[in-house]
Structure 1
Amino acid sequence: MEPAIIQVKHNVHKQIKRFLVTGISAVAIDTLVYFLLVQFYFASLSKVISFICGTFVAYLLNKFWTFEKKSYSLNEVFKFIILYTSTLGVNVSINALCLIHISSAKPIAFVIATGASTVLNFVGQKWWVFKE
């Protein structure tokens, strides 16, 4: 195998690992902020704020650590917001479709929807938001 192809595969594997760690970190921040705020505010407001905090963490870690982009671009921010909004729609839609077809399996629907949106988020960030 060509050295350049091996290097590209290595970089993608490294990015996938970092993307997963970033995702777990973002969910942890979302959860922590939510449970801190929900003691003082309405649950919906707490969730909006915690989701934004988790998304902000995901943006920063993916930009600077996962995809190692050092420059700043407002265009990247807009693309990231469009991507996350779109994949949220995909996640909710797939979850709903799964529940129609396998109504008793909410955990399965959740995993399928989350898996699909995770793959789309990685692909979108790698080849659209933070493309090289």
Structure 2
Amino acid sequence: MTTTEVMAEQSARNPATLNQQLFRFIAVGAFSAIVDFGTTAGTHFLLDWSDGVSKAVGFILGTLTAYFINRRWTFQAEKSFRRFAVTMLTYLLTFAVQWGLYKLTIPWLNTTGLPPLGVRIVSFIIAQGTATVINFAIQRFLIFRR
């Protein structure tokens, strides 16, 4: 039996508690947010892409990172095309919320005197925080429920 198979078998026998899942979800979310924001800021400031396109690309890369880590580590779920498809639909919903909040808050934050990077950091935090709450609830109670 490989190490991965042993870990999967142990995880199946000892599923994570709600508190463990929440902690792991937040840790994975923080890592995925770094991927998302790094891509978003990098493509906007270094490649001069629009805020909307940059956010979309960042979200896609951050989302895929989060899904694959959460599936195995946070929720200890086996591979499933159906689960992947439902999760991607959920991410589409949270993308709409996140992208919309990101785009709506930038003009408002531009009036605060923050520098352009500061505006995007605060906008990202508002959008990401809202989407994270929605995403955890859907994944925990609908997609990866036991």
Aligned residue number for residue 4 of structure 1: none
Cα displacement (A) at 1:14: 0.6
Provide TM-score, normalisation by structure 2.
0.61
User: Identity of paired residues, percent?
Assistant: 27
Give me the CA root mean square deviation: 3.7
Cα displacement (A) at 1:64: 0.6
Aligned residue number for residue 61 of structure 1: 69
Structure 1: which 5+ runs fail to align?
1-6
The answer to whether 1:129 aligns with 2:143 is yes
Structure 2: which 5+ runs fail to align?
1-13, 113-118
**Partner deviation per Cα, 1:96-128 (whole Å, 9 max, x = no partner):** 5xx99xxx8999987665444222211111122
The answer to whether 1:26 aligns with 2:40 is no
Q: How many residue pairs end up in the alignment?
A: 119
Q: Which whole-Å CA distance do the structure 2 matches of 1:21 and 1:54 have between them?
A: 13
**Partner deviation per Cα, 1:6-55 (whole Å, 9 max, x = no partner):** x99x700111111111111001112333427863x452455433321111
Closer, same or farther: CA 50–88 of 1 in aligned 2, 3 Å: closer
The answer to whether 1:73 aligns with 2:80 is yes
User: Aligned partner of 2:138: which letter?
Assistant: G
Cα displacement (A) at 1:131: 2.0
